[in-house]
Structure 1
Amino acid sequence: MYKKLLAFSLTAALSACGESGSKQPPAPLACGNPAVVQNVRTNIQEIIKQEAQRFARNDTRQFIDADKIIAAATQLNVQLDGPAEENQNGRPICRANLSIQIPADILNTAQTNSPLVYGTNSSITRVVQERITGSPLTYDKGLFARPLHYTTAEADGQTTVNYEDNAITVTAQNIAGALLPYGVKSILMINGQPVRREDALNTAPQAFPDPPPADPQDILDNNAAANTFGGETTATDAPETLTPEPPRSETAFSAGELEQAKNNNQAADREINMVWNSIDQNIQKELINEQRSWIQSKNTHCRQAAAQAESSLQAEYLHLQCDTRMTRERSQYLRGYTIN
């Protein structure tokens, strides 16, 4: 009897040991985590910002205001539909349908200004379609769409998103190309004379050279550098530098431009207050120190932007542009913490 009990106990122990030592199946991926959409949105905005600033630096005619494009990027409607886990080459990954819509008013302005950037014989649709031919990316009436493959990981309350390819970078670069005409300034310096944008459109404008194609290695590097949630960057990323609009003569400004800049700034302030009030009060308490640091950083950056001006009127205009852009970017970031 004793021997039988001993044999049973030993068998049970071995069985339990075998179960504990067996390989546990991996935890399901958090494909539908809201942090993924926020990560996509942050990366899209950052890449568009880089593209806009690069184009503005190479814009020999100085027609493009990068800040306008950067601000427009914060208004994009980013959606990730049908996120689900699937098996690819023996490992689980997430697949979802990414769609990014340019708001109608921004798209209409970009289409109107397009001849000043791409010439009278090319439209935004034609330019984009030529660039995306043969790729999974599609475009129709301001809507960019494509499948997106990624994986997620959870650690210390943070969600890390890793993309399987350069889909985010390529998509953002094409959106930047569509938004470029939106960045055309209200007053253009042509042959040393200030010319209203509307008057320039009524003439026969020469197309500004198309931006040089992105280096494939740059695409891969940018994609690898933007894989962490919350906009974290790698050590190889260059620090953010403000690129204020080149000084313009006083005659290049109008009361209407300054008034519009004030209205845009007030609208941005209303928007961020509305978003902040939509955040749970307990989360607000956790974010308050971060919010105060952001305000201090915004004030510092915008003072630097205004310092490039040649007059008090220009300084006010540049400060308002900077404040509006940074406030809209912050509003988009805070939306990730809202209740709805």
Structure 2
Amino acid sequence: MNLLPRVSLHPDVVEAVASEEQESVWERLTSALCGWCGKGGLNKQLKRCGGCGVVFYCKKECQAAAWPKHKVVCRSKRTIDLNPKAAGFATPMKLVASIVDWAEVHKYALTIMAHALVRLDGGVDYNLKNGRVLVYVVSPNHGEDHPSRAFSLMMVKLTDMEDCTDIYQRWRESPMSNVKPEGPFFQSGNTSATPAGVIPATFIVGPSKPGGPPGSTIFTQSQYPLYPPSCHADSAPLDEPTADAFYDVMGVVEGFMTLDVVFRPPPGGVQKDNQAVAGQLARKGKGWRWERVMGAWLELDEILAEDFPPPKSGKSALELWTLFRSW
């Protein structure tokens, strides 16, 4: 059973926003957190990355610390043009359809990141009751036809409903918001098998040029079921070591995605020692087939150490996964 709906292609959701409104929405959705330490601040306190124009930093030290990881996806050597043809797509709808496929391929990884972020920011009940929205900012990889490599994930964050009222309202009015997920799609150790609800998610493609607002940002919409933890109170505050570990979980998942790894849920129910299954898409005729990559978790630390900064928590990828699943 496919428990996560595909990204919506409803014509009321897919749109190119007028430039003035666009800039306002873009600033509200992408400028609230430092891309390294995660601290918030006023827009004037946060500086854009001069390369990609997407990620913000609160100080030079944070930008320097983030660079070994960020350079993998930063477009510092070329302009990002959201003209669909320049991005390798004939029309805006083809661009959006490619996002649909990419998000579908990586939906388990994106679900893991969603839960880590929700745990870090108030818990499941708080985010559902306050109408919060997940924001994924992606950048097209020009000329890439592989469905798992079509985009790079630039940022993921939670934002308040008032910062994206139109997007939230469209989701509430769409048939998608009435879909009730069933069963334990997201198996996270002791997490309840019954979802508490669904959280809307929006995917933003941008920007049009480094250091500036997007010229034709395209929004697409989806949603993800949220499962409360069963070993800890949903609203229990995280101590600093655990918070660092949850940030690292998101970094590990993003690292896997950068390495072209496609996650699938762990087999065998919700046993603590089950790992998310890593694989890759391989050509089969005119389509693609998922093939498992054995030993990926054991190799990840060594691979990431070459291009990514060390985890804040000091834990290995497997240790992070074990902590995350047993929370």
Tell me the TM-score normalized by structure 1: 0.25
Tell me the TM-score normalized by structure 2: 0.26
More RCO (CA 8 Å, sep 6+): 2
Please say which structure displays the higher CA radius of gyration. 1
